[in-house]
Amino acid sequence: MEIWKHVPVPPQAPATEGWVDVRGTKLWYWDTGGTGHPVILLHAGTQSAAGWVYQQPALAAAGYRAIGYSRRGYYRSDRGSDEDPGTVSDDLHHLVTHLGLDTVDLVGGAQGGFIALDYVFAYPEKVRSLAIVSSLMGISDPDYVAVNKRLRPPFFATLPHDFQELSPSYRAGDPLGLAEWHKLDEQAMTGKRIDPVLRTTPTWALLEAIRQPVLLATGDSDLYVPPSLLRMQAGHIRQAEVHIVPEAGHSPYWERPDLFNAILLGFLGKLGGYTNRTNH
């Protein structure tokens, strides 16, 4: 019996690369181009725009315009000034404007989900849909804060990234994939970790005001966002489609890319029936 089926990183679709100026700081991005609807991939706190190697070709092959960028201080992007850090939603909006995009689909993994929410709160008219994957979201309501304190004791933050984020099944079964993930993790950030600066503090009330379709997904072994926490999040979102990815942790798009890509493309494929409703 095979312990785990390794999924090799597929050849990447042709893409242009560039830098966008955000208040004097330059952010690196890649863009597969074309006339398909733009899907912007928002990376986790331990990764960068270079980490979407399983999703980039799948989205391009399905006819979407896939775009990824590294936030301030991440791979190939400038750190910028600590005195003028900007906000993640405004940085993203600079990219959207630079590329001349109308409405976009946002896919946020882990910390990238914070950025997706901050953007839809600030620029709702620009967002067609949200896919938020294994993200704590930064909800500030007391019940949610209390749940997260029960989930992860203080020492959790000192554990290695792979233990925090990758499922036991993946770490045990896929040494090749684990090594590739480590390379991307080490490459993503060479200096001090930069936490995102948000324009808006997320609350349940703000989630309940979102009118766009939302995909919520997590791994069944995610130590940050276990299925019960995901269902708690979903209870405050009007148009939530919920998926639990088996034998995956905090990075289901990396650990189970074939399954995750099918979920994401299935969700995006339904959007033709939705109107682009904004928050009010």
Instruction: Identify the helix (H) or strand (E) that includes residue 38.
Output: strand 38-42
Kindly report the CATH number assigned to the domain that includes residue 76.
3.40.50.1820
Residue 103 lies in a domain: yes
Say what the pLDDT of residue 55 is: 98
Number of domains within the chain: 1
Residue 276 lies in a domain: no
Domain coverage including residue 253: 16-271
Residue 113 lies in a domain: yes
b/e map of 113-136 (b: 16 or more CB within 10 Å)? bbbbbbbbbbbbebbbbbbbbbbb
**Would the pTM count as exceeding 0.75?**
yes
pLDDT tens readout for residues 176-224? 999 999 999 999 987 777 777 999 999 999 999 999 999 999 999 999 9
Residue 1 lies in a domain: no
Residue 9 lies in a domain: no
Contacts of 226 (CB under 8 A, 6+ apart): 151, 218, 220
Contacts of 134 (CB under 8 A, 6+ apart): 109, 110, 113, 217, 218, 219, 222, 224, 225, 249, 250, 251, 252
State the Rg of the chain over Cα. 18
Residue 277 lies in a domain: no
Tokens of 58: 């799948």
The edge-to-edge listing of strands for the beta sheet with 127-133 is 16-22, 25-31, 65-69, 38-42, 104-109, 127-133, 214-219, 240-245
Say what the pLDDT of residue 32 is: 98
Contacts of 161 (CB under 8 A, 6+ apart): 46, 185
**Cα–Cα distances in angstroms (integers) from residue 135 to residues 120, 138, 192, in the given order:** 15, 8, 21
Please list the pLDDT of the chain residue by residue as tens digits (280 residues).
Answer: 788 999 999 999 999 999 999 988 999 999 999 999 999 999 999 999 999 999 999 999 999 999 999 999 999 999 888 888 889 999 999 999 999 999 999 999 999 999 999 999 999 999 999 999 999 999 999 999 999 999 999 999 999 999 999 999 999 999 999 999 999 999 998 777 777 799 999 999 999 999 999 999 999 999 999 999 999 999 999 989 999 999 999 999 999 999 999 999 999 999 975 444 333 2
Say what the pLDDT of residue 275 is: 43
- H-assigned helices in 88-153: 88-98, 111-122, 142-151
Residue 262 lies in a domain: yes
Residue 266 lies in a domain: yes
DSSP code of 243? Answer: E
